[in-house]
Structure 1
Amino acid sequence: MAGLGRVGRRRTKKEPRRLAGVRRLPLRTVLLIVVFVPSVTFTPLLASGMYQLSSQWQAEKVQMDLATTTVGAPAADLFFSLDRERLRTAEMQADPSSTNRDKLAKQRAETDRAVSAFRPVSAVNDRRAQAGLTDAIAKTGRDLDLLTQQRGAVDSGWSSSQQAFNYYSEVLESDLGVLTALSNTDEGEVNSQAQTLVDLFWVVDMIGREDAILAAGWKTGRLTRDQYDLVAGAIGTKRHLLRSRVVPSLTGNETPHRTLTTSNAWDTMSTLERRLVTSGISADSNRVTIRGDAAKWREAVDAVSEQVRDLLGLRLANVAESGYSHANMLFVIFISVTSVGLLAVGLVIFTSWRLTSILRRRILHLRGEAHELQERLPKVVARLERGEDVDVDAEVHLVEPTPDELGELGQALNAASRSAVATAVRQAEQHRGFQRMLQRIARRTQILIGLQLKKLDELERKHEDPEVLEGLFDLDHLTARLRRYEENLVILGGGQPQRRWRKPVQLLDVLRAAQGEVQDYRRISIDVEGESWVAERAVGPLVHVLAELMENATTFSKPQTPVEVRAAQVSRGIAVEIEDRGLGMEPEQYAAANDLMRSPPQLDVMTHADDVRLGLYVVARLSAGLGLQVEMRSSAFGGTRVIVLLPETLVVDRPRAAPEPETPQDTTPQEGRPPHEDARLPTRSRGRAMANVTAASPDRDDPPPSSDLPPLPQRVRQASLVTELKGAADREEQPEAVRDQPRRSSATIGAFQRQSRRRRTSDDDAPGPNGTPTTEDR
C-alpha cells in the first residue's frame, strides 16, 4: 500500500553542514583537554628530571658501595697482603732460613684469606658500576689464578728472585687497576679525591718494590744493574707522587700528614736512597754496591709505610664520606624535586579542574536554561492550542547576567528565550486561527454536501429512468467520497467527525459502508466470520478509518487485482485485515508507518501541506481516539496487509431487537433543508439498500443472507447484480434475459426502483426504537 503506507524519509528542516574531517568535541572533553594538556606537558619534564636524579643517585650510591665495601675493601686487603708476601718471598729467597720460611707461610695464609674475599668480586656485573671495573677485576682474577703455581716455583727454587718480583708486581698492578677503576665515579669532586687515594696506593707499591729488591741486596751488599734501575725508578716515582700530587691535595684533617716528607723516618729513608743512587751512578760494572745500614732502612721504611697507610686510610674515609654525602644530597634533591613537582602537578590539576568545573557548571546552567526553554515551548504551544492565554514575560526565565563573556551569552540567551517564546505564541495563535478557519470552511462545505445529498435523494425518488439513475448514483457516490475528504480536513484541523450513530451497527454493515466510500469499490471483497456488532460511538470513526485503508489499497495496486477484507473475532476483540496485491513497502517504511500509528504526532497542517501521508495522520488520530491498534505488514502476495484490531470495549452484543442496518446521522446543520411535516428528516432508502448488499467477488459464490424481503442490489456502477436479484419475491418480475445479463440494464434499474419503493414504504411505517421514526443520512 502507498499513500498511507509509502513512508519515506523526509527532511522537515535543514540539517547543519559539517566540514569533512572536522569533529565537534563535547564540552566535557574540551574541559578535560584544558585540564590535562598542561599537566601532561609538565609531567614528562618533571618525570625526566626525577628519573635523572634518581638514576644519578642510585649510580653514585652503587659506585660508592663498590668503592668502599663491595670491591674496594677486598681489593685493598689483597693489595697489602700481596705487597707483604712479595717482601717475604724476597727475604726467603735471599735467606731461606726457617724464620723467613715461617714468616712467608704466615703471610701466604693471610694472602689466601684476602684472595678468598676477593674472588666473589668477579661476579659483580652492574651497569651502574664504574667504567672499566669489570675488566680490571677479570684481569686480577686471571693473575691470581697463577699464584699457587708461582708459590710452588719459589718453594722448589725454580723461580728466581726477579721472576717472583715480576709476578707479584704484575698482580699488584692489576689490583691497582681495580682501585683506579673504582675511583672513576660520576661525581667530579669524588674523582679528584679518589685520584689522590690511588696515588697513595702507588706510593705504597713503590716503597714495596724498593723494599723487596733491597731485601736481597742488603744481604749480599750488591744489586744488579736491572735491580738498581727498578729501585731508582721506584724512588723517583714515589718522590714525585708524594711531593707533586699527594701532599698538595691534602686538606682538612689530612693536613697534619704534610709533614710526611719532612719526618725523621722519611729523611733516613731518603738519605739511604740517595746513597744508593749515588753508588749506582759511580759504578762502572753491572754490579752496584749498596752502602748503608739495613736495620736503619727497615726501621725507616716501616715508619714511612705506616704513615702512608694511615694517610691512605684517612683519605679513604674522606672519599667515602664525600661520595656518600653527595649521593645523599642527590637523594634529598630527588625527594624534594619529586615532592615539589608532584605538588605542582597536583596544584595545576586541582586549579585547572576547579576553574573548569566552575566554567562547566556555568555553561551547563546555560544549557539547562536552553533545554528548559526547549521543553517549555511545546507546553506553551499546547496551552495555546487549548485556548489558554500565555504571558510571555511570565514564561521567560531570565538568566542572571555576569560581567564576563558567559554573562553576555546569558543575556543573549535571555533575548533568544523571549524571542522564541514570543514567536511560539505568535505562531501557535496563527496555527490555531488557521485550524479554526479550516474547520469552519470544512463545516460549511459539509453543509453544502448535506444539501447536495438531500437533493440527490429527492432526485433518485422522482426519477425512474435507468440512465438518469445511473448518473445520480455516480454523483451520490462521489458526494459520499467528498464528504469523507471534508472530514479529513476537520480531523487534520483538530476537530472530530460529526457523523453519529444512536445504535450499535453490525460489523458487516460497517465494512460495507466503508466500501461504499471507496472509488474503486468493485475490487473489494468482504468476508466476515460470525456476527459481530460495533458500539455506536465507534461506528463513524471506524467507517472513516476502514474507508481510508481500503481506498489506499485500491489506489496503490493494479486495477485488475482484488483487495480482500477479512474480519473475525479474536481473543482481544475483532481483527479486520485489508490485504492488497500491490508493490508493498520497504521494511523501514513499515516501521515508520507503525510508529506513526502507535504515537500520532500533533500535525501542523501548514508545514505538511505537501506530505502524501496525510491519510496516515487521519487514521492515526482516529485510531488513537478510539483505542484501535493498526499495524502494517508485508503481504504474501507482495503487497501490504493492514490489521485493524478493535478492542473488546468497542464490541457489543447483538441488540435484543436487531435494528435495521442504520446509516449515520450527520449532525452538521442542514441549512436550507425544510423539515417534514412530522418533524422527521427525509429517509435515505438508498443508503439502506447498500447496507444489505456485498460487492461481488471472483471467488465468492455464497448467497446473501436471507431476510423477509429479498436483498436489494448495491448501487455500484457497472457491477453484476445477478446474484443479488435472485430473491423469490422479484424473480418472477424479471425477464429471463435480465437474469443472465452481466451488466446493468433498464430492467435491472426498474427492479431496483420497485424494491426501493417497497422498502421505503415499509420503513416509513415502522417506528424507531424510541417510538419515533428513524432519521438517517450518509
Structure 2
Amino acid sequence: MAGWGKGRRRRTAEGAGDGSRRAGGVRRLPLRTVLLIVVIVPSVTFTPLLASGMRQLAGQWQEEKAQLELATTTVGRPAAGLFFALDQERRLTAKAQASPGAAARDKLAGQRAATDRAVQAFPTADDLDLTDAQPGLAAALRRAERDLGLLDQQRRAVDAGWSSPQQTFDYYSGVLETDLGVLTALSHTGESQVNIGAQPLVDLLWIIDLLGREDALLTRGWDTGRLTRNEYALVTEALGTRNHLMHARVLPALTGQETRYATITGGEAWRTMTAVEGRLATAASGSGRDQVRLGDDGAAWRSSVASVTAQLRQLAGLRFAYVSRVGHDHADMIFTVFVSISTVGLLALALVILTSWRVTAVLRRRILRLRQEAQELQERLPDVVARLERGEDVDADAEVRAIEPTGDELGELGQALNVARRSAVRTAVRQAEQHRGFQRMLQRIARRTQILIGLQLKKLDELERKHEDPAVLEGLFDLDHLTARLRRYEENLVILGGGQPQRRWRNPVRLLDVLRAAQSEVQDYRRISIEVEGEYWIAERAVGPMIHVLAELMENATTFSKPLTPVEVRSTPVSKGVAVEIEDRGLGMEPEQYAAVNALLQAPPQLDVMTHADDVRLGLYVVARLAAGLGLQVELRPSAFGGTRVIVLLPETMVVDRPRTAEPDPPEEDRPRAGALPTRTRGHALATVAAPAPAAPSPAAAPERENGGPRPLPQRVRQASLAEELKAPAETPGDQEEWAAGDRPSRSSAVIGAFQRQSRLRRTGEEAFPAPPGGSPDPMPPTTEDR
C-alpha cells in the first residue's frame, strides 16, 4: 500500500490533456453525416435548377395563356365587334346628317342599339386581371373607355344639330382609332410567331377603317353632290394608305386558306371601287379650288364598298383564326415542354437521390461491416487473452475470421484488416504467454524468498529462546517484526503474479485475533487502537487473506497520517455481516479520487505487473484482488477528522459460529498472569495474555520476594500471546519447502511491548504496571520506542 496515500493529494491531468487535444484537433464528422452530405449536396444543387426551369416554363405558359385569352375571347372579340359597329354607325351618322329623313333616322337608331350592345360587351380595365397582359393594353383600354364615355353626348349633339359633319367624323374616327389601339396592343404578345401573324390582322382592320372613312365622307358627298377640298384630301389620304397596306403588308402575308383572297384587288368589286375613285380624281382636277363636284356614282360605290368590306372582314376572320391557332399551338407546346421537362427533371432528381442513396448505403454497409470486424477483434482479443491466462491453448488463425476480398479499395482495406487482425491476435497470444511466464517466474521467485523468510523467522525464534538479555531481545523482536512485514510484501508479489497467499488455517479464528495479527504486521503498530464489539469468528479459508487486507489498510492509515495521531479500528455487527472500520486523521483525498479508488475496489482490473512497474499503488491492487476473491466490500469515505475512513464489510458467509474445540475465555481472576502484565482497556489493542506464570514459586525464590528483593524476569513462552487458531503447527526438518504455505502468523506487538516493559521494570526493581488509585492500570506505559 506504500504510495497509495500520495494519490490522495495528487490530481491527474490526463482528462484535461485529452480535452485539450480534442478541442485543438479537427472535428471529424460521423460517417453517416458524410454519406448524407454526399446524397444531399447533388440533390440540393440540382433541385433549384430544376425548380427554376419549371417555374420559368410555367410562368411563360401561364402568361401566353392569359394573353391568348385576352386577345381571342375576353378583349379581342368584343373590341372587334365594337370596331365594326362604330364603323357602321359612323357611315349612317354621316348619311343622316347629309339627308335627314325618316329612313336614315331609323337605320341610325337601329345601328346605335347594336353599338350600345357592343359597348356593353366591351370590358373595362378594372374588370380584368391584367397581371400577365400584353404591354400597353391597360392604357389602351382606359383611352377607349374615355372616348366611349363621350358617345352619348356626341349622339345628342348630332340629333340636335350642334355637331358639324366634320366634328362628327373626327369623333367617330378617333373612337375607332382608340379601339384599333386596343387591338394593336393585343397583338404584342410574348411569342414572336404570334406577333408576326397578328400584324397582317391589324393592317386589315386599319384598311377596313380607312375604307370606312372614305365611305363616310363620300356617302355625305353623294347626297350633296360635292366635297370640300378638306374632305377630298381625307379621301385621297385614306385611299393611298389603304392601297399601301393592302399591297405591301397584307397580301404578301397571306397563307393557307387566306391565299384565295390574294386576287381581291383584281375582283369586280375592287375594280368598280377603284374606278369610282379614279373618276373622283378626274372630277377633282376639273373642279374649283374649294369644292369637288361628284358624279352620279353613289350606287356603284356603295355596292362595291359593301362587297369589298365583306371580303376584308372574311379575310380578317381567317387571319384571326390563324393567329389564335398559332398562339394556342405555341402555348400547348410550352405546356408540353413544361410537363416533359418537369417529368424528366423529377425523374432525374429521383434517380440522382436514389442512386446517391443506394451508393452511399452500399458504402456505409461495407464500411460498417469493416467496422464490425474491427469491433469484433476488439471484443475477441481480451477474450483470447483471458483464455490464455486461464492456461488454454489458442490458435491465432482459427480465432480470426477472414474478410472476403473484393477488387476495390475497400477490399484492399479488408485485406489489410485481415492482416492486422491476425497480427493482433498473434501478438496478443505471444504477449499473454510472455505475461503468463513472467507471472510464473515472479511467483517462483517470491516462493523461494518466502522460504528464506520462513527460515529467518525460525532462526529468530531459536535466538529468542536462547537469549534473555533485554537489549538483545528487543533487537530480535524488531527483526522479527520487520521479517513479518517482509513476508507480507513477498505475498504481495505472489498476489500480483496471479497467485494467492499460502498461509492456511485449519480452524476458524476470532475476529479480534485476526485484527491483532494484522496490527502486528504494521510498522507503526503502537498508534493503532482496536475495538471489537461482540465476539465473532472468521472462517478458516478467509483468515490469511483477511489478515493481509487489514494489514495493508492499517499500514496505509498509519503511513499517511501524522506520526502522533491515532488510527482507530472498530468492528461492528451489521445486517449483512460484520463491518470493520479503519479511520485515520490524515489529509484525505479529493472526491473524484475517492470515486476512482472505490471503482477500482469494486472491479479490480487484470494487472500486468510489467506495465504497472512504476505504479506506486500496487497495494491497492492487492486489496482489490483479495477482496474480490473473498467477497469483501471495501469502500473509502472521507473521515469526520479530515482523513479517510475505510469500511470493510465481511459477508455473513465469512462469519461462522464458535468452533466446539474453542474454550470460552476464563474469568479475569482465573487468567494466568506474568508478573503484573497490563490489562486490555477499551480502545487499545493490547495483549490479554502473556507467558503463563509458573504454577508455584520455588523455595529459594520465596524469601527473596518476601524480603523485597528483585523478582525473576518473566519467561517467554513461544507463541503464548497468540490464539490457539493462529499458532503455527510444529515443524519438521524437511518442511522448508512447505513453510511458505504454512507460514506462522506474527505475534501480537502489544505482547512484545509488554514483555519489554516488564524486563526494564525488573532491572530497575520497580513494580510492574502499578495501578493508580481508583483506576485501572495504564494500558500503554511509555517505552523507549514511544519516547
Q: TM-score scaled by structure 2?
A: 0.81
Contact kept? 1:499, 1:667, Cα under 8 Å: no
Q: Shift of residue 265 of structure 1?
A: 1.6
Contact kept? 1:577, 1:644, Cα under 8 Å: yes
Structure 1 residues 746 and 286: CA distance shift in structure 2, 3 A: closer
1:86 is matched with which residue?
Answer: 90
Structure 1 residues 612 and 683: CA distance shift in structure 2, 3 A: closer
Matches of 2:581 and 2:118, distance apart in 1: 109
Structure 1 residues 119 and 578: CA distance shift in structure 2, 3 A: farther
Deviations 1:477-506 (A, max 9, x none): 322322222222212111112223333333
Note if 1:467 corresponds to 2:471: yes
Matched residue SS, 1:499: coil
Deviations 1:402-451 (A, max 9, x none): 34433333332232222222211111111110111111111222222222
1:61 is matched with which residue?
Answer: 65
1:445 is matched with which residue?
Answer: 449
Out of 274-283 and 87-96, give the one that drifted further: 274-283
1:506 is matched with which residue?
Answer: 510
Structure 1 residues 227 and 383: CA distance shift in structure 2, 3 A: same
Matches of 2:285 and 2:467, distance apart in 1: 170
Note if 1:409 corresponds to 2:413: yes
Note if 1:2 corresponds to 2:42: no
Contact kept? 1:523, 1:562, Cα under 8 Å: yes
Structure 1: gaps spanning 5 or more residues: 676-680, 694-711, 726-730, 750-778
Note if 1:165 corresponds to 2:169: yes
For residue 99 of structure 1, what is the amino acid of its counterpart? A
Matches of 2:25 and 2:279, distance apart in 1: 95
Matches of 2:528 and 2:130, distance apart in 1: 98
2:540 is matched with which residue?
Answer: 536
1:759 is matched with which residue?
Answer: none
1:122 is matched with which residue?
Answer: 126
1:220 is matched with which residue?
Answer: 224
Matched residue SS, 1:569: strand
Deviations 1:78-111 (A, max 9, x none): 3223333333333333334343333333333333
Matches of 2:111 and 2:564, distance apart in 1: 128
Matches of 1:116 and 1:732, distance apart in 2: 147
RMSD over equivalenced CA pairs, Å: 3.8
1:337 is matched with which residue?
Answer: 341
Matched residue SS, 2:578: strand
For residue 519 of structure 1, what is the amino acid of its counterpart? Q
Matched residue SS, 1:649: coil
For residue 476 of structure 2, what is the amino acid of its counterpart? L
Q: Shift of residue 245 of structure 1?
A: 0.7
Q: Shift of residue 8 of structure 1?
A: 3.4
1:149 is matched with which residue?
Answer: 153
- Pick one of 575, 581, 595 that aligns with 2:599: 595
2:717 is matched with which residue?
Answer: none
Deviations 1:629-675 (A, max 9, x none): 33334444444443333333333344456568466578999987689
Contact kept? 2:389, 2:432, Cα under 8 Å: yes
Matches of 1:304 and 1:139, distance apart in 2: 30
Matches of 2:724 and 2:181, distance apart in 1: 126
Q: TM-score scaled by structure 1?
A: 0.82
Note if 1:107 corresponds to 2:111: yes
Matches of 1:413 and 1:489, distance apart in 2: 39
1:755 is matched with which residue?
Answer: none
For residue 58 of structure 2, what is the amino acid of its counterpart? S
Structure 1 residues 64 and 576: CA distance shift in structure 2, 3 A: farther
Matched residue SS, 2:59: helix
Note if 1:366 corresponds to 2:370: yes
Structure 1 residues 274 and 323: CA distance shift in structure 2, 3 A: same
Out of 602-611 and 354-363, give the one that drifted further: 354-363
Equivalent residues in 2 for 1:737-756 (5 A)? Answer: 743-745=781-783
Contact kept? 1:122, 1:137, Cα under 8 Å: no
Matches of 2:754 and 2:171, distance apart in 1: 139
Structure 1 residues 387 and 212: CA distance shift in structure 2, 3 A: same
Deviations 1:111-135 (A, max 9, x none): 3333333335533334332222222
Contact kept? 1:2, 1:556, Cα under 8 Å: yes
Matched residue SS, 2:386: helix
Note if 1:382 corresponds to 2:381: no
Out of 606-615 and 456-465, give the one that drifted further: 456-465
For residue 2 of structure 1, what is the amino acid of its counterpart? G
Matches of 1:716 and 1:580, distance apart in 2: 28
Out of 485-494 and 137-146, give the one that drifted further: 137-146
Note if 1:650 corresponds to 2:690: no
Structure 1 residues 654 and 114: CA distance shift in structure 2, 3 A: farther
Matches of 1:182 and 1:609, distance apart in 2: 99
Matches of 1:452 and 1:111, distance apart in 2: 142
Matches of 1:674 and 1:341, distance apart in 2: 94
Contact kept? 1:524, 1:562, Cα under 8 Å: yes
Contact kept? 2:507, 2:725, Cα under 8 Å: no
1:174 is matched with which residue?
Answer: 178
Matched residue SS, 1:644: strand
Contact kept? 2:492, 2:622, Cα under 8 Å: yes
2:264 is matched with which residue?
Answer: 260
Q: Shift of residue 549 of structure 1?
A: 2.8
Structure 2: gaps spanning 5 or more residues: 666-722
Contact kept? 2:78, 2:122, Cα under 8 Å: yes
Out of 422-431 and 107-116, give the one that drifted further: 107-116
Matches of 1:217 and 1:667, distance apart in 2: 163
- What is the percentage of aligned positions where both structures have the same residue? 66
1:321 is matched with which residue?
Answer: 325
Deviations 1:652-706 (A, max 9, x none): 344456568466578999987689xxxxx9987x72x45xx6xxxxxxxxxxxxx
Structure 1 residues 667 and 265: CA distance shift in structure 2, 3 A: farther
Structure 1 residues 563 and 108: CA distance shift in structure 2, 3 A: farther
Equivalent residues in 2 for 1:562-577 (5 A)? Answer: 562-577=566-581
Structure 1 residues 397 and 151: CA distance shift in structure 2, 3 A: same
Matches of 1:254 and 1:394, distance apart in 2: 94
Q: Shift of residue 152 of structure 1?
A: 3.4
2:243 is matched with which residue?
Answer: 239
Matched residue SS, 1:406: helix
Matches of 1:578 and 1:175, distance apart in 2: 114
For residue 188 of structure 1, what is the amino acid of its counterpart? S
Out of 542-551 and 606-615, give the one that drifted further: 542-551
Out of 265-274 and 115-124, give the one that drifted further: 115-124
- Pick one of 549, 553, 578 that aligns with 2:553: 549
Note if 1:426 corresponds to 2:430: yes
Matches of 1:199 and 1:517, distance apart in 2: 127
For residue 139 of structure 1, what is the amino acid of its counterpart? R
Note if 1:191 corresponds to 2:195: yes
Matched residue SS, 1:632: strand
Matches of 1:652 and 1:66, distance apart in 2: 109
Contact kept? 1:466, 1:746, Cα under 8 Å: no
Contact kept? 2:75, 2:123, Cα under 8 Å: no
Structure 1 residues 532 and 212: CA distance shift in structure 2, 3 A: farther
Q: Shift of residue 247 of structure 1?
A: 0.9
Deviations 1:499-529 (A, max 9, x none): 2333333334433333333333444444444
Matches of 1:204 and 1:251, distance apart in 2: 20
Matches of 1:598 and 1:10, distance apart in 2: 22
Matched residue SS, 1:59: helix
Note if 1:133 corresponds to 2:137: yes
